[in-house]
Chain A
Amino acid sequence: MSQSRVIVVGAGVAGLCCALELSERGHAVEVVDRGRALGDGCCSWMAGGMLAPWCERATTEPVVATRGAPSIGWWARHFPGTVRKGSLVVAQPRDAGELQRFAERTENFERIDDARLAELEPDLAGRFRRALFFPNEAHLDPRRALAALAEALHRRGVPIRFGVDFSAATSRHELIVDCRGLAARDALADLRGVRGEMLVVRSRDIEFSRPVRMLHPRIPLYIVPRGEGVFMVGATMIESDTRGGPTVRSAVELLNAAYALHPAFGEAEILEINADVRPAFPDNLPAVRQEGRVLHANGLYRHGFLLAPSLAREVAERLADLVPSLETSSLEMIDADLRERRPA
């Protein structure tokens, strides 16, 4: 293997997607992370793993949907555990207005009745009269997806080294792709943290096939199935970069909402309860910024898995412009890349 000329700093979803994209385009890449192992100190580990570009339209700018939609195919190609069964949106009867509002802001959904809901998710039968079904959305288990990316990089000969405190000043790499998330605040003054709290529960009584969002004027909630009765319940959005454990209030709100979605969650076992901080720019949209030989890819906010593939593509394109000599420009490589992308 040739000496890598590009180093990716940070092995969260941004770093791993960038490394894979660059490797697939023929660059010699390596990845370093200050954590002890995959997921350590990385907020991607706490992510929900919803690939829901159309639902996200309810609260974000259109660009999140246009950049996020292609990521569903990207994940399906790179991680076989990607589940493409759509997602559901429901609301308690007294919050029916919220469902209407959500429908007005979003697209690519079907309005469904209780019978269709029961077909899709038998365990929700009789619980909601109306729902929105977004058939083209998908979800994945972020931890398994990160492991799959690490494995893919390993197969391609891209080293990932953990426990490395990287310093750009002493690095000899020609190009540094900085994907450190909130840790890159030393270089990105307008980066801020948005805290999120989540929990993981296991229920023996219910099973969902797809993520379910329950709308609420103050405590919106989503539940993402992880298989075998395990569910991720998330997630709060608090303008704070405090990393400490979840507050009792947030935990109570999330648990309450889960219980309201289905009383069987009252009997579920709490496997994990956690909090972390998402990196965000003032417009809550990711960006690639250049500073000398450093490309900062950051600000994925709550759209890590949804927008990382598009961010990685942008990094690869910027990198090609930046140092044309780095681009292998081997036609064979490009052909191979295209072949891989084409669905079988």
Chain B
Amino acid sequence: MPFYGVDLKSRLLLGTARYPSPKILGEAIQASGAEVVTVSLRREAGSERGGQSFWSLVRSLGVRVLPNTAGCHTVKEAVTTAHMARELFDTAWIKLEVIRDDDTLQPDAFGLVEAARVLAEEGFEVFPYTTEDLAVADRLVEAGCRVLMPWGAPIGSARGLNNIYGLKALRAHFPDIPLVVDAGVGVPSHAAAAMELGYDAVLLNTAVAEAGDPVAMAKAFAMAIEAGRMAFEAKPMEPRDMAVPSTPTIGRAALGDRR
């Protein structure tokens, strides 16, 4: 499923923060095969756009940049950051984060919807970071979002998919909107599980950046995401309550000792 008209081969989107070094970041992106990376603007920007050298390092990796509004608490901050991002990275894409409070990093659904509407009207292609709440998702689509990015679990928590039922419901409710699990993914099996639910992609950062070997972990995630997607397309069997032997037992000859 294309993201705002862009077809991507890789279903892994990688964040660029907290790697041991830009060099390792570059190697991890390469190993993961990711075609899209997110870049945080707000903190790095400073007054004179002091983050330029880091951003040009990221740009030199030849991947598509999805700038984000991480650290924004209000609609105004998020919109200003999005404007700056468009100018700096020459892209209409924006990963929209509006956070309620710094401790929980929970998305502020109200601010998010409002900022999404403002930005979509201005021609931005918005990737909103949200919860799995159906009503909020509905509002975001109504505001003009054509991609949704529900969390698996709170940012950086490595808890995996906290509400599988909610994520499934979201998938069923929006069959034609690309859905990306963003945040909370800790290990490759979490990412595979998201893909098995029929999600279109997974976005993660800390799980790779803070792994002992980020490059190997990036590769592991890429493989898990590919496996999860393949499993989804292969239509997995449904779980049952009872054991079902894989070979018929009736009429089988009794062999060996009887205990």
Segment touching A, from B38-46, B131-139, B169-177, B239-247: B38-46
| Chain B residue contacts of A174, Cβ below 8 A | none
Contact present for B46 and A242 (CB under 8 Å): yes
Alpha-carbon separation in the docked complex, A280 to B23 (Å): 11
| Chain A residue contacts of B2, Cβ below 8 A | none
Cβ of B26 to closest chain A Cβ, rounded Å: 7
A202 at the interface (CB under 8 A from B): no
- The digit string for A230-255, where 1 denotes a CB below 8 A from any CB of B, is 00000000111111100000000000
Segment touching A, from B51-59, B160-168, B194-202: B51-59
| Chain B residue contacts of A195, Cβ below 8 A | 46, 50
A294 at the interface (CB under 8 A from B): no
A105 at the interface (CB under 8 A from B): yes
| Total number of A residues with any Cβ neighbor in B under 8 Å | 24
B123 at the interface (CB under 8 A from A): no
| Chain A residue contacts of B45, Cβ below 8 A | 240
Contact present for A193 and B47 (CB under 8 Å): no
Cβ of A320 to closest chain B Cβ, rounded Å: 29
Alpha-carbon separation in the docked complex, A239 to B52 (Å): 9
Contact present for A285 and B212 (CB under 8 Å): no
B249 at the interface (CB under 8 A from A): no
| Chain B residue contacts of A61, Cβ below 8 A | 20-21
Residues of B1-44 whose CB lies within 8 A of A: 20-24, 26, 43-44
Contact present for A244 and B47 (CB under 8 Å): yes
Interface of A is mostly: loop
A274 at the interface (CB under 8 A from B): no
Closest partner residue, chain A, to B55 (CB atom) = A239
Contact present for A285 and B44 (CB under 8 Å): no
Contact present for B46 and A284 (CB under 8 Å): no
Contact present for B53 and A241 (CB under 8 Å): yes
Contact present for B50 and A241 (CB under 8 Å): yes
Alpha-carbon separation in the docked complex, A295 to B24 (Å): 26
- The digit string for A260-286, where 1 denotes a CB below 8 A from any CB of B, is 000000000000000001001011110
Contact present for A242 and B50 (CB under 8 Å): yes
Contact present for B212 and A239 (CB under 8 Å): no
A192 at the interface (CB under 8 A from B): yes
| Chain B residue contacts of A244, Cβ below 8 A | 46-48
Alpha-carbon separation in the docked complex, A101 to B47 (Å): 35
| Chain B residue contacts of A239, Cβ below 8 A | 43-44, 51, 54
Contact present for A240 and B21 (CB under 8 Å): no
A290 at the interface (CB under 8 A from B): no
Residues of A160-208 whose CB lies within 8 A of B: 192-193, 195
Alpha-carbon separation in the docked complex, A101 to B18 (Å): 15
Closest partner residue, chain B, to A218 (CB atom) = B156
Contact present for B47 and A242 (CB under 8 Å): yes
Among B48, B53, B212, contact of A105 (Cβ-Cβ < 8 Å): B212
Given contacts A192-B54, A193-B53, A239-B54, contact A283 B44 (CB under 8 A): no
| Chain A residue contacts of B47, Cβ below 8 A | 242, 244
Closest partner residue, chain B, to A253 (CB atom) = B102
- The digit string for A103-125, where 1 denotes a CB below 8 A from any CB of B, is 01100000000000000000000
Alpha-carbon separation in the docked complex, A217 to B52 (Å): 26
Among A59, A104, A238, contact of B20 (Cβ-Cβ < 8 Å): A59
Residues of B187-226 whose CB lies within 8 A of A: 210, 212
A60 at the interface (CB under 8 A from B): yes
Which 10 pairs across A and B sit closest by C-beta, in order of nearness?
A242-B46, A242-B50, A240-B50, A284-B21, A192-B53, A239-B54, A283-B23, A282-B23, A282-B22, A241-B50
Please give 5 more A-B residue pairs, beta carbons under 8 A apart, in addition to A240-B44, A240-B50, A284-B20. A193-B50, A193-B53, A240-B43, A243-B50, A283-B23
Q: Sample 18 A-B pairs with CB under 8 A, ordered by A number.
A: A60-B20, A192-B22, A192-B53, A192-B57, A195-B46, A195-B50, A218-B102, A218-B156, A238-B43, A240-B46, A240-B50, A241-B50, A242-B46, A243-B50, A282-B22, A282-B23, A284-B23, A285-B21
On A, residues with C-beta under 8 Å from B are 59-61, 101, 104-105, 192-193, 195, 217-218, 238-244, 277, 280, 282-285
